[in-house]
Amino acid sequence: MLIVDGARQIGKSFIIRHAAKSLYPNYIEINMEKDKQGSRLFADARTTTDFYMALSSVAGDRMHEKENTLVFIDEIQAYDHLLTLVKFLMEEGKYTYIASGSQLGVALKKTQSIPGGSYERLRMYPLDFEEFLWANGMGELAIEGMKKAFENMEPLNEGLHNRVMDLLKKYILVGGLPDAVNAFVEDKNIVKIRQVHSDIHDLYLDDAAKYEKQAGRKLKIQRIYSMIPSNMENRKKRIVVKDIEEKTGKRMLNYQDEFDYLSAAGITIECKAISKPSFPLCLNEGKNLLKLYMNDVGMLTAIMYGHNLKSVMDDESSINLGSVYETLVAQELTAHGLGCFYYDNKKNGEVDYLINDSTNLTTLPIEVKSGKDYTVHSALNHFIEVKEYNIKQAFVLSNERKVHTKGKITYIPIYYIMFLNCANEVVGKW
């Protein structure tokens, strides 16, 4: 069974419904959250026979052969026993199934009785920047041309660069939540866009209360989530444990369940520290130095800047957009399946991001700059000089159009982040 998980309001049900209706003549949709609040037909469906009986009571004339019948189980995590039933539904193979849920990541962590091989999990994210370009009428030929320019390490012409940078700044304000993107495309009304952000932000906080019955833990989850924008304004941007409950003597391990919830629910992006990088990065992650980013850059700018567009669109010198650009990059790296890691070393300093360089079996460092001093990066310089790290190439992302290389460091426009899943191929050429 294909199971699609991800945060609330990112379009899971919409895209499943759209594809399913196009591919299957007999489409059946059941929402388990609504069933739980209403008729509770599936509340006691603990065998496949019980499940088919409940299903036939709402979709009897649409239950045909497996080849032409798809059953979409939305919010499947509302009933824990249905996650266990997945194995038996798939073994019988009576119909084709797809499932989704907004708290599915949390539920799957708690459910120990789902055997491997009975489901394929796919995580969905808010629209990334390339998808935002599609939504705003950027043609496929133009995007393909930009991708080739990235692969050849060439700049865009000035007109196209200005167009893409304008849309990038708007993406920073709007983000990738579908309702916010639709509000932007249709009305260009920042008040409506910010209302979407506010409603979804409140929804995320409410979900913590809904799914975590321990009052103390619920409040800690809400507190950690609410701390993220202010953490972004700190130099280190890391979680400071004593600030969560304003208590000393606590350690990161004391809040591991809360961090797991925020990540599994899809509402935050975990960025884990690496002090001695080697390939692959996941084997070297640290547990005590953690950054949390919001899952959507538009949500962050809604909290930080409200209805003020000039702070982003006009590059005001008094506004430091470093944390905003970092959130954008974290969102892109995560959506592209590259993971989110950063380098932290007392001797050499901190580098914003590291990704795996599978071509050279090493790591590729990325520094993000929002100002004019984008060529100043002492920690990155120290990092690439460490011989044991065997660094072949590094990227600095900034607003500048020009692409140029100095030593091992290549300076590229920040919008090229949308193609960075091609980076290993590019590094291979170098």
430 residues of the chain, pLDDT tens digit each = 999 999 999 999 999 999 999 999 999 999 999 999 999 999 999 999 999 999 999 988 888 888 899 999 999 989 989 988 999 999 999 999 999 988 777 777 666 566 667 889 899 999 999 999 999 999 999 999 999 999 999 999 999 999 999 999 999 999 999 999 999 999 999 999 999 999 999 999 888 777 656 556 778 898 999 999 988 887 778 888 888 888 888 888 888 888 988 998 999 999 999 988 989 898 887 767 889 999 999 999 999 999 989 888 887 665 778 899 999 999 999 999 999 999 998 888 999 999 998 888 899 999 999 888 899 999 999 999 999 999 999 999 999 999 999 999 999 999 999 998 744 444 444 3
H or E stretch at 365: strand 362-368
Distance of CA 223 to the CA centre of its chain: 20
Show the domains of the chain with their CATH numbers: 2-123 (3.40.50.300), 129-429 (no CATH)
Give all strands of the β-sheet with 26-31 in edge-to-edge order: 26-31, 69-74, 96-101, 2-5, 120-123
Q: Are 1 and 97 in contact (CB under 8 A)?
A: yes
Count other C-beta atoms under 10 Å from residue 65's C-beta.
10
Residues 82/98, Cβ–Cβ less than 8 Å: no
What is the three-class DSSP state of 288?
strand
**How many C-beta atoms lie closer than 10 Å to residue 349's C-beta?**
15
Beta bridge partners of residue 268, listed in sequence order: 294
What pLDDT, on the 0 to 100 scale, is given for residue 430?
A: 37
Global confidence as pTM: 0.91
Q: What is the residue-wise DSSP string for 157-179?
A: PHHHHHHHHHHHHHHHHH-S-HH
pLDDT of residue 53: 95
Through-space distance between the first and last CA atoms of the chain, rounded to whole angstroms = 42
Query: Tokens for 326?
Result: 């970092």
Q: Look at residue 235 in the predicted model and tell me its pLDDT.
A: 75
